[in-house]
Chain A
Amino acid sequence: MSDAVDHLIEINDLYYSRGALQIFTGLNLRIRRRQVTAIMGPSGTGKTTLLRLITRQLIPDRGTILIDGIDIATLNQKELYSLRRRFGMLFQNGALLTDLSVFENVAFPLREHTNLPNRLIRHVVLTKLHAVGLRGAADMMPGQLSGGMARRVALARAMVMDPDILIYDEPFVGLDPISMGVIVRLVRKMNDALGVSSILVSHDVQEIAAVADCSYLLSDGKVAASGSPDELRNASSELVKQFMHGMADGPVAFHFDAPDYAEQLLGRDAD
């Protein structure tokens, strides 16, 4: 298999800034087919922004993003939407449609894009809800769900069109250990059984280690390190060590830029 085909997503020399803030400065990243790729990094390094760039919810200032070798910047809206049908995305807070029930939320993509008979839609939706353990909640409204349940419903919705590429934005935040384990296994199973490629943004080093084939650690707008979870854990770089082991001291400052603490408490910073 040639190199170009093997890479599902290729990001070359990506620049992106929001206002004066430079978020990406020459980012290069490859995502391989049928693997779980994790994107990690301290808060504020633009992990979610990267997902939005990959799905063209945002447009980069410079550089290209190729999906299956096609530059997504060149797509018109129709082509973009047919590309997006191959994606399933799980948003940080679920992003369920609040005026529809759980069942209708999961059925939403089917109703919008297919003419399947109701019986079949019901069958598919219940199957997906069962996979995330929420078949019993089908008639509830999103407002009645806890955060973790909403995330699981959103996961069922992301899977309902049987996408090629599943994108998870912080899937493990706010889940109890039981649902966390189930979701981790589900991510892996989707990947292995259905041949889906997964992109996963997360800080949860433990869970990433359990599920990812390959991880990228972002810092300062570039890829700071990449490799399998074991390789990252044993990396010698200070930054990688600090992140993987959760240490307060290291190249990444815990404190946001601020004037000297003692000076400020004494009120001398104003002078």
Chain B
Amino acid sequence: MQTFAELLDRLILTPSRQARVRILRAYLAATPDPDRGWALAAIAGGLKLPGLRPGLIRTLASTRLDPVLFSLSYDYVGDLAETVSLLWPARPGANRTPSLSEVVAGLQSAAPDERAQRLEIWLDSLSVSGRYALLKLSSGRLRIGASKRLALQAAAELGTHPIEEIEEIWHGLSPPYEDLFAWLEDRGQRPGEATPAGFRPVMLAHAAAPEFEPGRRLADTIDPEIYAAEWKWDGVRIQLVRERDVQRLYTRTGEDVTDAFPELMDEIGLTGRMDGELLIRGPDGEPAPFAEVQKRLGRRTISVREAARRPAFIRSYDLLDSDGQDLRLLPFRERRERLERLVPTLRPDRIDLSPLVGFSGAGELEALRRQPPQPAIEGLMLKRWDSPYMAGRPAGQWFKWKRDPCLIDAVMMYAQRGHGRRSGAFSDFTFGVWTSTPEGDRLTPVGKTYFGFTDEELVRLDRHVRETTVDRFGPVHSLATGPHQGLVLEVAFDAVQRSTRHRSGLAMRFPRIHRIRWDKPAGEADRLETLAAMIP
């Protein structure tokens, strides 16, 4: 457990991805089976343990520490596992420390009412970093900034097989992956038949704006002979596959979301693998705003009624294989032609085709990008006609060219200490705009953000919060505001919609701080009517 704990500590603090791959590779090379397999599973997200509820961990902590002191600590640190690992009072001379495999076996076999007791015994025997690793592991999510792809890359580097080969068999493997390591180290056969309907890594686009060839504006470089243009749909990128009568739906990271969208598992006529955007059909038949997709994504399973109320469909834009033939090395133009022939043979209410956007020159395209015809469009995609379908984010092939964000001037009203990387500093900000009330103009909160500022700005923002706090509600600090008091934030956001869940009646999509207006008097910030007028 201690080597695994040290591994996590180093992965957390090492900024470069390449170095993290190296660290994990070195761990996998030096650690015996089965410990290394459990570690790989934990980092790649393939370890299914009966997760301990955060409540259980808190209850356990409260047997050792006053709950008020616990909350103050948790509020400051921002991470439950880290908080408990730091404040757990050590018991010198406690039991010997468990190995990673013992912990995994122990968590898997413990009856629900035994789990707390086992955890307590382990916590007593481990160091701070060991306790942290244990709690991360038993909460079911590591969240240490190491992705599945990074984990598989490190495994691939144990031998000579490229990562793509591991990705293709990964879904059929189970921890502690002794067969996988044997194959990678040339001691055994390639494990498992490639599972039917497994996931294939997706191809991603680079952000285009404002230029994509050095020194030349994007708009000056787009040639319809070289690039195809499509709308960028504001849904969820998915991969739908049907192979040997097995049908699966994956997100772009390979997460299996088949069960969340039963209506897409009906017989739809596909034999192959397509790439597209999952959208929800609105009452008008057109794609609904992203908020509707989000409502369904959060759930693992879904009732028939809910599925009927917010029916999902796929707007397809690429075809990776068809009838057992791998198309990924063909140019986009050919894949597109095949897709256009295929889609009309499928169930039209479940799958349609993302249309190409015709254009003769860049100016025309730029105008379309600024004024897209539907709210569910967040910009344009540009794809080279000759691009093969490559895993990852290859340079110079696909570009996303987003619509300009909406902007509004709002006033910072409340602040809270951040979580994760930003714990300790005030970095979660609630902002509001002016609205008329019988008592005169008042600020009403319209959104919350923790994005869009540099570390230097964060230091200044943090100081602003500490200097202008007038009240505290638990972890939330309320700030002094008025026509001549308060900090104006220029907030950028992708869209705004009506919402019954927010006091202001509006909900913003992906708000982030665009600029901090240290210079602007709060009284000159925008009004609620201005924001409401931006609803599409």
- The answer to whether A and B come from one shared complex is no
Binding site for A on B (CB under 8 A): none
